[in-house]
Amino acid sequence: AAGRRLFSTTPSAANGVEALKPLSSPACQRVFDAVLRRDGAQPEFVQAVHEVLDSIAPVVEQRPQLEPLVSALCEPERVVHFRVPWVDDKGARTINRGFRVQMNSAIGPYKGGLRFHPSVDVSVLKFLAFEQVLKNALTTLPLGGGKGGADFDPKGKSDGEVMRFCQSFMTELCRHIGSFTDVPAGDIGVGAREIGLLFGQYKRIRNEFSGVLTGKAMSFGGS
């Protein structure tokens, strides 16, 4: 956690700790304290959880039986972290980190984008997946929430390099997604080109043409 800012609910100037205000609901505060103990080195995720708990605190205060559900909402059902090896145009081997955070599938399959950007890490993706659960639920569609990606930057890369990276990324990701399990989409750094390459590799490995990715071109199953 070197270089990270840790969070606390009490003001402190030591060790770069940033103060977050105590929550008005004791139940929400207990949930947040548990998140802080486990994930204190994940600042983006901790901040997102605090903001949501602060918003729902009046409701939880009136309905304390919701505490176990709120606690479950703050813990991912699954976090997949994997190595993505690929070869650049000069023949040099490169390793990136790939992730898929499957946050919650209570009302439907995980749904959320894939992001390729150097800033991607577990904290960022847990924060995005956590908020994706809430956004998807508000659509009233039967969709859970998830988020994934890699610390790979497609900017400045050739089409061949992007293709090799996407193929390597999907070779592992395909084990964890499916049209009734987890349906990724595009996000920062993942546009129509990347979605097409990812879908092509999924189809080649799984030998099926299914709605496993959204954002495809209309010429091969998009809308």
Instruction: List, by residue number, the catalytic residues.
Output: 147
Name the DSSP class of 59: H
Other residues' Cβ atoms within 10 Å of the Cβ of residue 159: 11
Other residues' Cβ atoms within 10 Å of the Cβ of residue 45: 25
| Integer Cα distance of 116 and 120 in angstroms | 7
Q: Which residues contact 104 (CB under 8 A, 6 or more apart)?
A: 73, 76, 77, 110, 133, 144, 145
Query: Cα dihedral sign for 181, 104, 144, 107?
Result: positive
CB 33 within 8 A of CB 70: no
The interaxial angle of helices 122-138 and 43-62, nearest 10 deg, is 40
Residue type, 198: L
